[in-house]
Structure 1
Amino acid sequence: MTSAPLTVIHSRDNAFVKDLRRLAQDSTAYRKQGRVWLEGDHLCSAALQRGVRPAIAVFSESFWPQAPAMYAQAASKVIVLADGLFADISGLESPAPMGFVVDAAPSQGLRPGVATVVLDRVQDAGNVGSILRSASAFGFRQVAALKGGAALWAPKVLRAGMGAHFALDLVEGLALEELGVLDVPLLVTSSHEGDLLHRASLPWPCAWVLGHEGQGVSPALEAQASRR
C-alpha cells in the first residue's frame, strides 16, 4: 500500500505513543513538540486538500488493511497501533481509526491589510473552532488571538474547526499593541451598544473583534475600535 517506512507498535511505553497521547489530550502540547495531531479522515482529507503533507500517518491495527491508500502514501512514515493503544490515545468518545501527525506551521506574524478575525481571550474550544469555521466561510484570511484564550491548535479546537485551520493564517499569543500592524478598520462586537449588525455598512477588509464569553471585549481594545 505504501513505500513509506512502516512500524507496528503494541507497547504503551513506546516513546512515540507517549508523545502522541500528549498531542491528543493536552491542549498545548503542540507548542512544545512542534507537531499537531489530526484525528479522523475529515481533518486528514482537509489537510491534504490544502497541500499539507503529514510527517506520520497513524492507523489502528484493525483498520490498516482497508485504509485508503492516499493517506498512507501522503506520509513520510506510517505507524500502525494496536487497537487498544489507539483507543487509549484518542480524544474522541468513538475513536477514529486513523490520523496524521503534521509539523506545526511556523507563525509568519500578522499581515497588514488582510481581513482578520481578532479573538480577545475567547475561552471555549468549541466556540473558537466554530469561529474559525465561520471566518473561513466568510472570506477572512487571518485570525489573531490575544493572550489568555484557548490554544488555536488544541485538539478540541481542531475538531470544532472541521478543517478551517488549513484555510487561515493563525497567529496566537499576541499582545494588544501588536494589533496595530493590521492597518484595517477595527470592528468590535457588543451586546449593549453600537449599530445593529443587519443595518450596518461594514468596511472590507476589516478586523472583526470577538470578545471573552463572559467579559466581552476588553475596554482597552474597545477604545481602539473604528465601529461598534
Structure 2
Amino acid sequence: MNAPSMLRISSRDNALIKDLRRLSQENGAYRKQQRYWAEGDHLCRAALVRGMRPDIAVFAESFLSAARTEYVQAATKNIVVPDALFHEISGLESPASMGYVFALPRDQGLKPGVATVILDRVQDAGNVGSILRSASAFGVEQVLALKGTAALWGSKVLRAGMGAHWGLRLFEGFTFANLDGLDLPIVVTSSHRGEFLHVAQYTNQLPNPCAWVFGHEGQGVCTELEAMARVHIRIAQPGGEESLNVGAAAAICLHASASQAPSVRA
C-alpha cells in the first residue's frame, strides 16, 4: 500500500492549525468542534490497537521519516508541519511530534445493567484519567460524568487515561434523573461511613454488577447520591491517613468488584 499524500502547512495562522491548538490546549474545545486531539506515539498506537481510525494525522517534519508505516496510513488526511509549529500546537512541555484528530463518539445511549462508574465532580484531570484506566482494566463498561467533572475528552484526561478511553462508553453532563436508567445498585465510597471494603468483599455484600460512585477530591460524594446508594463503602487505612487519593481509592474498589465477577480468570 502506498503512503497517503501529505499536506504541508507552515503558517501558524492557518485555520486548521488554530483549531488544533485549541483542541490541544483548551479543555472544552472538543465540545465545540466535535472532535478531539490525541498526542504522542504511545497514545496514537493505543487508539489503533483498539480499532480507532483518525480523521487527521499531524506530524512534525523531523518525526515523519521515522514514523511507523501504520501511523501514516491510518488517517484519511495527513498534515506535516515544521517542528516549531508542532510545538505551538502541542499542550506538552516536551512535544511528542505526532498527533491524531478523532471525531467525538456519537451518543450510544446508556446501557442498563452493566458495570458502571459514576464520577461526581472529580476535578483533577490526572485523577479522572487514572480512574478511566482502572475502569477499563477491571471490566467496567461505561463511565458517567456528572456536571463539574473534568472534561473527559480534554487532552489532559486523554493523556492520563493512556488509551482507556477507547475501551469504555463515556457520557458527560449526566444528572441524577438520568441515573434511573442504570438499573443497578449504587455503591458510594466514603472516608468515614459504611462497611469496610475488605469485609464487604468477603461477606458478599458487594453487589455485582453495580455502579461505583467516586466523588470530589475535597468534598466527597454529594448528599443526593449518598441518599441513592444501596451500599456505603470505606477502605481500611491502618497507617492512619485521613483519606486516600480518589484515583487510588477507585483502583482498590474496582479491583475488589472485578475479583468477585464470575468471568474472572487467573
- Equivalents in 1 of 2:41, 2:3: separation in Å? 21
Residue 56 of structure 1 aligns with which residue? 56
SS at match of 1:66: coil
Which one has a bigger Cα radius of gyration? Answer: 2
Q: Does 1:141 align with 2:145?
A: no
Q: Please say if residues 20 and 37 of structure 1, whose CA atoms lie closer than 8 Å, have aligned partners that are also in contact.
A: yes
> 1:103 — aligned with what?
103
TM-score relative to the length of structure 2: 0.84
Superposed CA RMSD in Å reads: 1.0
Q: Are 2:93 and 1:89 aligned?
A: no
Query: 1:155: Cα distance to partner?
Result: 0.5
In 2, Cα distance between the equivalents of 1:180 and 1:174?
A: 11
CA deviations on 1:27-77 (whole Å, 9 max, x unpaired) are 010001011100001111111111110001110011112211101101101
Q: Name the counterpart of 1:226.
A: 230
Give TM-score, length-normalised by structure 1: 0.98
Aligned match of 1:209:
213
Residues 116-174 of structure 1: per-residue CA shift (max 9 Å, x gap): 00001111000000000001111101000111111100100000000000000000101
Deviates more, 1:102-111 or 1:186-195: 102-111
Determine the structure 2 residue equivalent to 1:13.
13
Aligned to 1:28: 28
Amino acid at match of 1:209: V
Q: Match for 1:227: what amino acid?
A: V
User: Structure 1 residue 3: deviation in Å?
Assistant: 3.9
Give 1:225 deviation, angstroms. Answer: 0.2
Identity of aligned residues (%): 65
1:153 matched to which residue of 2? Answer: 153
Q: Is the CA contact 1:39–1:98 (under 8 Å) kept in the aligned structure 2?
A: yes
Structure 1 stretch 101-110 or stretch 151-160: which is displaced more?
101-110
Tell me the number of residue pairs that the alignment of Structure 1 and Structure 2 aligns. 228
Inter-partner Cα distance in structure 2 for 1:132 and 1:183? 21
Residues 65-103 of structure 1 deviation map (CA, whole Å, 9 limit, x = unaligned): 221110110110110011000011111111101110111
2:216 is the alignment partner of 1:197: no
Letter in 2 for 1:147: K
Match of 2:237 in 1: none
Structure 2: distance between partners of 1:37 and 1:2: 25
Q: Are the aligned partners of 1:110 and 1:144 in contact in 2 as well (CA < 8 Å)?
A: no
Where 2:228 maps in the other structure, the secondary structure is coil
Aligned-partner Cα distance in 1 for 2:109–2:174: 10
The one-letter amino acid of 1:211's match is G
2:120 maps to 120
Unmatched tracts of structure 2, length 5 or more: 233-266
Residue identity opposite 2:9 in structure 1: I
Instruction: Supply the AA of the counterpart residue of 1:104.
Output: L
Shift of 1:2: 4.7
